[in-house]
Amino acid sequence: MSLGLRKDDVVVVISGEYKGKSGKVLKVVPEKSRVVVEGINIVRRHTKPSLKNQQGGIMEKEAAIHISNVMLKCPTTGKPTRLGVKVNDDGSRARYSKKAKETI
């Protein structure tokens, strides 16, 4: 199942608590149709001290949100846009912004 979004894409949240905010995609989880976006859906986790985190305590990190709640941010207009895929003359595929009609 192709979700269209990839790591390092800039997306805009279109619904929910973080509506209107944008951030970079850190991780895509296609099995659950979810993405982790930088600075969006921050949760607090109580962690025990370990070798990786020797102090322990309350850690804040980004949680995954459903992919239907985000849209790709158009690089030219800066507005949310849908993604399209077109096949080039040499057979390669390219993603493009449906709003600006330009390849991403």
**pLDDT digits over 49-83, tens only?**
999 889 999 999 999 999 999 999 998 999 999 99
Mean pLDDT across the chain, nearest whole number? 93
For the chain, how are helix, strand and coil distributed in percent, rounded to 5?
5, 45, 50
pTM: 0.85
- The domain defined by 10-75 folds into SH3 type barrels. (2.30.30)
Q: Report d(CA 81, CA 57) in Å as an integer.
A: 40
What are the Cα distances from residue 22, in Å, to 38, 41, 59, 98? Answer: 8, 11, 22, 19
Determine the 3-state secondary structure of 86 from DSSP.
Answer: strand
DSSP state of 27: E
